[in-house]
């Protein structure tokens, strides 16, 4: 996401960095333990980034996946956040946008 891109749901994760620590995600989700964040990672609900060839095994969660998780858990009717999903899709790499477009066309 470029600095000029402003999404209408930025307030959900009020930090500018794209990679978040497990502790930060636990705070945003108001979880009492990091174990719950790791469970969300294992189920595929949160996207993880690990620096290649790093001696440290720290995991970072992408800001994009945290925003997507908030949308998934939203109690709003699906039609009310279509524009938000479109904005979120614009933050994906081009190859992933094509896959998403194909999946939508096939549904």
pLDDT at residue 88, rounded to an integer: 79
| pLDDT higher at 27 or 85 | 27
pLDDT for 45 beyond 50:
yes
| H/E segment holding residue 19 | strand 19-20
Say if residue 30 is exposed, middle or buried (CB neighbours under 10 Å; 0-12, 13-18, 19+): exposed
Residue 8 has pLDDT above 60, yes or no: no
Q: Where are the domains of the chain?
A: 17-63, 74-107
32 pLDDT higher than 50: yes
In this predicted structure, the answer to whether residue 2 has a pLDDT above a threshold of 50 is no
pLDDT on residue 24: 92
- The answer to whether residues 22 and 99 touch, using CB atoms and an 8 Å cutoff, is no
Q: For residue 96, what are the CA distances in angstroms to 33, 89, 91? A: 31, 9, 10
């Amino acid at each position: 996401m470029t600095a000029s891109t402003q999404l209408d749901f930025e307030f959900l994760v009020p930090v500018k960095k794209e990679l978040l620590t497990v502790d930060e995600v636990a705070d945003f989700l108001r979880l009492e333990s990091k174990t719950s964040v790791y469970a969300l990672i294992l189920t595929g609900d949160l996207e993880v980034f690990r620096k290649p060839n790093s001696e440290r095994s720290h995991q970072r969660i992408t800001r994009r996946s945290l925003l997507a998780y908030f949308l998934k858990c939203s109690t709003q009717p699906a039609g009310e956040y279509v524009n938000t999903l479109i904005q979120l899709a614009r933050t994906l790499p081009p190859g992933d946008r094509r896959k998403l477009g194909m999946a939508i066309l096939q549904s």
